[in-house]
Amino acid sequence: MTATTFGWLILAFPLAGAILTGLTYKLTKPETAGWIATGAIGLAFASAVAAAVDLLGKPGSERVIPDTLYDYGGAAEIPFDLGILVDPLSIFMALVVSGVSTMIHVYSVGYMGTDEGYHRYFAYLNFFVFSMLLLVLAGNFVLLIVGWAFVGYASYALVSFWYRRTTATNAGMKAFVINVIGDIGLVFAAILIIQQLGATEYLTVFETAPEVFDSDEWTIVAICLLLMVGAFAKSAQLPLHTWLPDAMEGPTPVSSLIHAATMVTAGVYLIARAHPLFELAPTAANIAAGIGAATLFIAATIAIAVKDLKRIIAYSTMSQVGYMIMGVSIGAYGAGLFHLMSHAFFKALLFMAAGSVISAMANFQNIDKMGGFRKALPFTFLLMTIGALALAAFPGTSGFFSKDEILGYAIERGGWYWACAIAGYAGAFITAFYSFRIVFRVFYGEPCKEAKELEGGHLAHHEPVNPHTFEPEDTDVGFPGKVHHIAERTWPMAVGMAVLGFGALFGGYIQVPGIDATLENWFEPVFEASPLYAIVPPVGQAWLGLAVGSLISILGVSLAYYLYIVAPGSTDRIRERFSRTHQVLFNKYYFDELQDALVVRPVQAVGRFANDVVERVVVQGVVNVVREGVVAVGGAVRTAQSGFVRSYALLVIAGFVALALYFLIAAA
Amino acid sequence: MDISWYLVLSALMFAVGAVGVLIRRSPLVILLCLEIMLNSANLAFLAFARSLGNADGQIMALMVMVVAACEVVVGLGLIVAMYRRRLPLDVDEARGLRG
Amino acid sequence: MVQVAFFAGAVGALGGAIAVIALRNPFYSVLALVVHLVALAGLFLLLHAEFIAAAQIVVYAGAVMVLYVFVAAYVGNVDEPLWEPIPGQRIIAPLLGLALFVELSIAVLGSALKAIETRGPELENSFGSPEAIGELLLEEFLIAFEAASMLLLLAAVGAVVLAAKRRDEEGERA
């Protein structure tokens, strides 16, 4: 079995799992459905591993393999076929996606065990993994767009999973609409590519692009900017980022999978994949790097102010994806993708641990109400700390190696990229701070009411309400289930978390500067044509960067330790002193309000106008005129049906007279 | 006399019969007017038979008379049936096709 | 001489026809039609159609009109109401009749038929006699003759069916 066969299998298993789980929802017990779904993704992961092994068996130049299942023969004059591209980049993404998804499926079997919508959940989750794998394995831009759109839909379906909650459905719609804006950008980019280059397949496009375009020609810049619109909508970068915090309305494993490890990294994958185009348009690449740097910093600052546990982690995701975007835009492809992998591990882990904590809090998410869970949730505490350490890029963790590799590359490239590096280091400091803000606020301090209950062995429980609006709910389908599951009591959750924790701690050792360069060698066949990929910082400089990084990380953690453990209450005093700044941060820089005023309200006004004037007056008016015309004609004709026999006789005679007249005239 | 006189007379009688059908309301009188129209046709047939020297026209007139007789029989039967059922003998009352 | 006879017949026929449509009492209309039919019989004689004239008197004016008289007597003399429910009928109908007459006249008189302007050929005496009619009926037009008999039979049966008293009917008026 060749690598490409495995490639198709990677796609087939999750799709089959989704269909099977979805269609047999009445036949299977909830747990069975969950394990079937997990099995499907597990098989996909196995196929990805097999494909990787097969690729490793080939020499480097033969590792980029396109394969076609069906040729549409240029339908609608668009040259594309049902084809995948199996190469180190796509297999790497497939491994990360399927691997982390398997763990999240295992976790979900436990976490969603008592939800009424169990089968629907796993069907959607499998479909999401299928879509994401389709996106990364696609061999041409059209199939990429198909996978892109499917992922957007799956995200919508899963965010509004508890569909009887209005806040959830609103969040789902917001996510979907912003995703569609990205889709539009992507489609326009594909149209331009077809128009300029006459092909959609990756290999053809990337080969012919340098011949057709000069560097920084406006067409290629436009294409790259449109691709960036798509990437930023999916990866929640400024200004299309407002959907991500609201998307936390979905169940926690959904946040873990979609909004931490996979969907938000689609933009990073896109830029890495389309790197030949971006290298032809340095302007666009620089803009992307700038936006990545800005997002990284701004999101980190917001994360130190918001109160909802999942939203803090969401902003952290936004910030880390900013690092990745910045990385692949400046040419650090290997480093950016390495950070993608390590981020997948520790962010998914953080969300899983947060899920456990929220269950202990009976579905409340406000960290103000949490505290002192250390004794009650020891396993969760351990794994949350591991995740926080990786997020803070503490020396030795995976996050440490990956994040600092990006920043080291930025310094090596020099020029204005120094600004990116400085933003990166500043962001790292804030990241370290807020990662431990979470840990110290939730697990240290005076145990809260729920923690005390749990220490006594009893899981807290109260009437189900919406955690944000406090509307009363029930536990039937469309709302969260009755029972809450914590990691200490539910073994699938613990298993998922443990595996990811291992990856978060030790995953970084595959790319230690000067010792091994596993990923760099692995990606060589994909990026070898790129001059930027060849830039490798010298080992000594890399280790200097690592040292600076460790210092910043330790400082950040220590600051958090000081403010929360040594001098508790000092954060309240700081908040009062800088209340104006705090307001801005707490309100997320008013981006939502800005979008509301600039986009939502004008569109609503147009809609109102269209309804009141165009629809009611013009369209309805035309219809009314037609209707009244027909009724009038009918009324006129109806007078002939008087029922009087003599009128009918009159008509007969009159007809005869007319006919005779006609013949008389004709004969004359 | 020229045949044309007879033909004009026939046309006039036909017109009178037609007007009668349109004007009168009693079904009995309408049938009478129909008789007038049929007779005018008979006259025209006979006039042409005379002018062509061909007696086929007379046979035709005979057949017309037979048909007229049959029609009268059925029509009068209808009128009697209407009368028996106490329906008003007025053609304008039969307005079931209205609308 | 012939002209006088023609005009007498014509006046009688027309007068009878107009009387039929003008008189309000249906019984009077029936009588007017009898006059019309007899006048027409006279005209038929002028056209060398003796048998037909006789048949007209005996069958038409004799049998058919007697039927009419019976029914008119049975149904009763209800004068026609004056009021016209259909607006404009009493104006349009005569106009249409006039138009009809004018058109037909034009068709007859304006046609290129030469024979109309003549009396017609000289006919032998047997033209229109019963022997001639009988020969034609039984030789050339045998099928039409038989069909006519069938039709008469059907009409008779139909009339009986139509006018038969139903068992659930109330008693007839005197």
Distance between C99 CA and the closest CA of chain A, angstroms? 7
Contacts of C125 (CB under 8 A, 6+ apart): none
DSSP A65: E
pLDDT band at C15 (very low <50, low <70, confident <90, very high): very high
Query: Are the CB atoms for A395 and A525 separated by under 8 Å?
Result: no
Hey, are the CB atoms on C2 and B1 less than 8 Å from each other?
Answer: yes
pLDDT band at B99 (very low <50, low <70, confident <90, very high): low
The pair of structure tokens assigned to C108 is: 């007859």
Distance between A666 CA and the closest CA of chain B, angstroms? 21
pLDDT band at B8 (very low <50, low <70, confident <90, very high): very high
Which chain A residues are Cβ-neighbours of B91 within 8 angstroms?
644-646
Distance between B96 CA and the closest CA of chain C, angstroms? 16
Which chain B residues are Cβ-neighbours of A646 within 8 angstroms?
21-23, 25, 91-92
Q: For residue A305, which amino acid is it?
A: A
Shortest CA distance from B22: residue in chain C: C93
pLDDT: which is higher, A323 or A462 = A323
Chains that touch B (3 or more CB pairs under 8 A): A, C
Shortest CA distance from A646: residue in chain B: B22
Nearest to A339 by CA among A258, A428, A213: A428
Hey, are the CB atoms on C103 and A657 less than 8 Å from each other?
Answer: yes
| Pick from A642, A647, A657: CB nearest C96 | A657
Hey, are the CB atoms on B92 and A646 less than 8 Å from each other?
Answer: yes
Which of A38-42, A52-56, C108-112 reaches the highest mean pLDDT?
A: A38-42
A308: exposed, middle or buried (Cβ count in 10 Å: 0-12, 13-18, 19+): middle
pLDDT value, residue C59: 92
pLDDT band at A270 (very low <50, low <70, confident <90, very high): very high
Chain C interface disruption, residue of B45, B48, B59, most C CBs within 10 A = B59
Which of A11-25, A253-267, A507-521 reaches the highest mean pLDDT?
A: A11-25
pLDDT band at C174 (very low <50, low <70, confident <90, very high): very low
Per residue in A609-620, pLDDT (tens digit) is 888 888 888 888
DSSP A393: T
Handedness of CA A96, A97, A100, A102 (dihedral sign): negative
Per residue in A303-316, pLDDT (tens digit) is 888 888 999 999 99
Report residue A538: phi and psi, to 5°: -65, 155
Rounded CA-CA distance A471/A465 in Å is 5
pLDDT value, residue C112: 62
Rounded CA-CA distance A391/A343 in Å is 8
Chain B interface disruption, residue of C14, C21, C23, C124, most B CBs within 10 A = C21
Which chain C residues are Cβ-neighbours of A649 within 8 angstroms?
none
pLDDT value, residue C167: 66
Bridge partners (DSSP) listed for residue A71: A81
Q: What is the mean pLDDT of chain A?
A: 86
Per residue in A109-119, pLDDT (tens digit) is 988 888 878 88
Rounded CA-CA distance A584/A586 in Å is 6
Which chain B residues are Cβ-neighbours of C124 within 8 angstroms?
none
pLDDT value, residue C118: 66
CA B36 to mean position of chain CA atoms: 5
Query: Are the CB atoms for B13 and C14 separated by under 8 Å?
Result: yes
> H or E segment at A380?
helix A378-391
Distance between B29 CA and the closest CA of chain A, angstroms? 13
**Interface list for chain C against chain A, based on CB atoms closer than 8 Å:** 85-86, 89, 92-93, 96-97, 99-100, 103-104, 106-107, 110
Given a cut of 80, whether residue A275 has pLDDT beyond it is yes
What is chain B's Cα-based Rg?
Answer: 17
Rounded CA-CA distance A502/A506 in Å is 6
Which chain A residues are Cβ-neighbours of C96 within 8 angstroms?
650, 653-654, 657
Hey, are the CB atoms on B22 and A650 less than 8 Å from each other?
Answer: yes
Hey, are the CB atoms on A660 and C107 less than 8 Å from each other?
Answer: yes
pLDDT band at A525 (very low <50, low <70, confident <90, very high): confident
> With helix as H, strand as E and coil as C, how does C60-124 read?
HHHHHHHHHHHHHHHHCCCCCCCCCCCCCHHHHHHHHHHHHHHHHHHHHHCCCCHHHHCCCCCCC
Hey, are the CB atoms on C75 and B83 less than 8 Å from each other?
Answer: yes
Which chain B residues are Cβ-neighbours of A641 within 8 angstroms?
97-99
Nearest to C96 by CA among A265, A295, A654: A654
Question: What is the rounded average pLDDT of the residues C75-90?
Answer: 78
Rounded CA-CA distance A461/A449 in Å is 11
pLDDT band at A477 (very low <50, low <70, confident <90, very high): confident
Whether the pTM exceeds 0.80: the reply is no
pLDDT value, residue C116: 62
Q: Taking the CB of residue B4, how many other CB atoms lie within 10 A of it?
A: 19
Rounded CA-CA distance A101/A118 in Å is 17
pLDDT: which is higher, A59 or B69 = B69
Distance between A637 CA and the closest CA of chain B, angstroms? 10
pLDDT: which is higher, A62 or A150 = A150
> With helix as H, strand as E and coil as C, how does chain B read?
CCHHHHHHHHHHHHHHHHHHHHHCCCHHHHHHHHHHHHHHHHHHHHHHHHHHCCCHHHHHHHHHHHHHHHHHHHHHHHHHHHHHCCCCCCHHHCCCCCC
pLDDT value, residue C120: 67
Question: What is the rounded average pLDDT of the residues C14-28?
Answer: 92
Interface membership of C143 toward B (CB under 8 Å): no
3-class state of residue A271 by DSSP: helix
Cα dihedral: C125, C128, C129, C134 (round 10): 140
Bridge partners (DSSP) listed for residue A66: A85
Given a cut of 70, whether residue A31 has pLDDT beyond it is yes
pLDDT band at A475 (very low <50, low <70, confident <90, very high): confident
| Pick from A643, A650, A653: CB nearest B98 | A643
Query: Are the CB atoms for A567 and A374 separated by under 8 Å?
Result: no
Per the listing, tokens 């200004």 go with A239
Per residue in A568-577, pLDDT (tens digit) is 777 778 878 8
Q: At what angle do helices B27-52 and B3-23 cross, to 10 degrees?
A: 170
**Interface list for chain B against chain A, based on CB atoms closer than 8 Å:** 18, 21-23, 25, 91-92, 94-99
Chains that touch A (3 or more CB pairs under 8 A): B, C
Given a cut of 90, whether residue B11 has pLDDT beyond it is yes
Rounded CA-CA distance C99/A660 in Å is 10
Question: What is the rounded average pLDDT of the residues A407-426?
Answer: 86
Hey, are the CB atoms on A650 and B92 less than 8 Å from each other?
Answer: no
CA B10 to mean position of chain CA atoms: 12
A608: exposed, middle or buried (Cβ count in 10 Å: 0-12, 13-18, 19+): exposed
A582: exposed, middle or buried (Cβ count in 10 Å: 0-12, 13-18, 19+): middle
DSSP A181: H
Distance between C29 CA and the closest CA of chain A, angstroms? 19
Region of A77 on the Ramachandran plot (φ > 0 left; ψ -120 to 50 alpha; else beta): left
% of chain A with per-residue pLDDT over 90: 29
> Residues of A258-291 as b/e, b for ≥16 C-beta within 10 angstroms?
bbbbbbbbbbbbbbbbbbbbbbbbbebbbbbbbb
Chain B interface disruption, residue of A637, A646, A647, A657, most B CBs within 10 A = A646
Given a cut of 90, whether residue A3 has pLDDT beyond it is no
